[in-house]
Amino acid sequence: MTQRGGLFFQMYLAHELKMTRRELLNRIDSRELTMWRAYFTETNTKPADKPDSPELLSAKLKSAFLGNTKKGKK
């Protein structure tokens, strides 16, 4: 954890708990602080995209190739 990232997270968590950073650090130890950071990191990540179906992939490929064909000037 970088120092700046750690301080930012401490401020963020203190704000969420409606207390000062000093109050927060007096109440919890570094292990619990690390667990909270991991919790927020995991709960704030976007879910993984679902893999495309074969039909959708086929349609995307067809439209990509058909849309990119260039006709020469006559």
- The answer on pLDDT for 14 being more than 70 is yes
Q: 74 or 50, which is more confident?
A: 50
Average pLDDT over residues 52-66: 78
Is 10 among the domain residues?
A: yes
The whole-angstrom separation of Cα 8 and Cα 19 is: 14
Q: Based on the structure, what is the number of domains in the chain?
A: 1
Is 58 among the domain residues?
A: no
Is 12 among the domain residues?
A: yes
C-alpha to C-alpha distances, 37 to 8, 12, 69, nearest whole angstrom: 11, 10, 50
DSSP state of 18: T
Would you place residue 53 in the very low, low, confident or very high pLDDT band (cuts 50, 70, 90)? confident
Is 26 among the domain residues?
A: yes
- Which tens digits make up the pLDDT trace of 30-52? 999 999 888 888 888 666 666 77
Domain that holds residue 9: 1-45
Is 14 among the domain residues?
A: yes
Is 60 among the domain residues?
A: no
